Amino acid sequence: MPSEPLSQKEIEDRLRELPGWAFENDRIIRTYRLGTHFAASALVSHIASVQEELNHHSDLTLGYNTVRLSVNSHDAGGVVTETDFALAERVESLAPAHGAS
Ligand SMILES: C[C@H](O)[C@H](O)[C@H]1CNC2=NC(N)=NC(=O)C2=N1
């Protein structure tokens, strides 16, 4: 997966395809809301398995009924790359089955 920094325009273009995601402090971020704390913890576990598979890891924050992801590419110097969006797209594809919004 290319780890070249994406331009601001490229990031904005990609975010248009990912409702709920935003660019903040050189990271892409998303907060999911779940029905229960246990559902939120299950989503964290599922995301962690995908992150291990991709070898790309976000900062995951588990709240009462929320899961917050914040990610960029350390190996590229702490900027947003295609790999971050690959992770975001994988999480977007698995989140609905958890009842996440
Ligand atoms: C050595 C290991 O493969 C690398 O450090 C991986 C691990 N997970 C990672 N996660 C993130 N977010 N960025 C990276 O550059 C990265 N690199």
Q: Which atom of ligand 1 is nearest to the CA of 3?
A: 15
**pLDDT tens, position by position, 5-36:** 999 999 999 999 999 999 999 999 999 999 99
Question: Checking DSSP bridges between strand 27-33 and strand 66-71, what pairing results, if any?
Answer: antiparallel
**Is the residue at 2 inside a domain?**
no
Q: How many residues does the chain have?
A: 101
- Residue 1 is assigned to a structural domain of this protein: no
Q: Which residues fall within 8 angstroms of residue 16, CB to CB, at 6 or more apart?
A: none
**Count of domains observed in the chain:** 1
Instruction: Give mean pLDDT, residues 31-47.
Output: 98
Reduced to 3 states (helix: H, G, I; strand: E, B; else coil), residue 86 is: helix
The CATH number that applies at residue 60 is 3.30.1360.20
CA of 35 to the centre of ligand 1 (A): 31
Ligand 1 close to Cβ of residue 37 (< 6 A): no
- Contact 57 CB / ligand 1 (< 6 Å): yes
Burial of 19 (0-12, 13-18, 19+ CB in 10 A): exposed
| Atom of ligand 1 lying closest to residue 87 CA | 12
> 97: Cβ–Cβ under 8 A, 6 or more apart, which residues?
none
Position 2 pLDDT exceeds 80: no
Residue tagged 């598979």 (tokens): 53
- pLDDT for 3 equals 79
Give 3-state DSSP helix, strand, coil % of the chain, rounded to 5.
45, 20, 30
Mutate to test the pocket of ligand 1, among 4, 25, 56 (most ligand atoms within 8 A of CB): 56
Grouping H, G, I as helix, E, B as strand and the rest as coil, residue 71 is strand
pLDDT above 60: residue 95: yes
Residue 3 lies in a domain: no
Give the residue numbers spanning the domain of 27. 8-98
